[in-house]
Amino acid sequence: MMTAASSLQEIRRDVAGALVRAGVLRTLARGLDDPSGAWRAEVADGWRVLLRGTGEWPEDLRASLVRALASLEAATDDLPSEHVRLFGPAGRATLTETSWGDAGRLLGKAAALADLGGFYRAFGVEPSAASPRPEDHLAFELEFLSVLALKEAWARSGGETEALAITRDAAAKFLTDHLGTWVDAWCAALVEQGAPGFYVALGEAIRCTVRAECDRLAVVPHPVTARRLDDALGDEAFACPRAGAADPPG
């Protein structure tokens, strides 16, 4: 039988775990930003703070974050130019969800963005006017999951069971329909494109985090297998190749 003391201890553990997840997701998103100015020091400092914490970590996640930090501290690559090469408009490891897809993505970019917007609006999240990130950017999706983790911590600390259920359900659906579907393909592309060690390690840390969240919520997303090569695939309307042609003679 659970005593009041053990129940309180469990609540504190669950709240601490949610806060750790929120911090990890936020700092991983920061790792995807333009690597210029004070970025390197800010990212490294944020990761060190997390790694000094005492909260529970999902399996393999702490080790992957340690590797990412070590790779960042030792990086001699020109990370700004590599960031453009990998993630820029012509990059083969682009950071936008709607750039990835196969037969499972026939609904198209507009439908995917509309669905993402619905998630964000439901929880009062809006893209920053100062940020150029689109709604389907990997960093934005990680930050949204971080917001859900913070809301979970709040709900658990206050005993808000309905709010907790809503938040967990939203996270499960978001992972199933969006973030969980394309991270594996993106990570594989980093390796295929010869990304610097830091970005490979960062990708692995993001993949471990997303997988841990999927396991925690018992969801199995349908993964896409590659970057979408045909940008027209999934547009809202398909034009008949004979549209506009003269009617055949009667």
Task: Enumerate residues 6+ apart whose C-beta is below 8 A from 94.
Answer: 87, 100, 227
Instruction: pLDDT band for 190, please (50, 70, 90 cuts).
Output: very high
Residue 239: is its pLDDT beyond 70? no
- Of 17 and 229, more confident: 17
Looking at residue 156, its pLDDT comes to: 93
More confidently predicted of 109 and 236: 109
Banded pLDDT at 226 (limits 50, 70, 90): confident
Domain boundaries, given as residue ranges, for the chain: 4-77+86-217
Tell me 245's DSSP state. P
Q: What percentage of the chain carries pLDDT values higher than 70?
A: 83
- How would residue 89 be classed by pLDDT, with cut points 50, 70 and 90? confident
4-77+86-217 has CATH 2.60.40.3670 classification? no
Position 238 scores a pLDDT of 32
Q: What is the mean pLDDT of the chain?
A: 85
What's the rounded Cα separation, in Å, for the pair 166 and 172? 10
Instruction: Give the least confident one: 63-67, 79-83, 136-140, 230-234.
Output: 230-234
**pLDDT score, position 104:** 47
The structure tokens 């190749």 sit at: 241
Lowest mean pLDDT among 13-17, 135-139, 160-164: 13-17
Whether the predicted pLDDT of 107 surpasses 80:
no
- Indicate if the pLDDT at residue 165 is higher than 80: yes
Is residue 244 exposed (0-12), middle (13-18) or buried (19+ Cβ within 10 Å)?
Answer: exposed
Q: Does residue 237 register a pLDDT over 50?
A: no
Question: Can you give the pLDDT at residue 2?
Answer: 57
Q: Which of 196, 207, 189 is closest to 93 using CA atoms?
A: 189
**Residues of 145-184 as b/e, b for ≥16 C-beta within 10 angstroms?**
bbbbbbbbbbbbeeeeeeebebbbebbbebbbbbbbbbbb
As a whole number, mean pLDDT of residues 117-138 equals 86
Whether 227 shows a pLDDT value over 80: the answer reads no
Better-scored residue on pLDDT, 51 or 167: 167
What pLDDT is attached to residue 1?
52
Of residues 225 and 185, more confidently modeled: 185
Whether residue 10 has pLDDT greater than 90: no
What pLDDT is attached to residue 228? 65
Q: What percent of the chain has pLDDT over 90?
A: 60
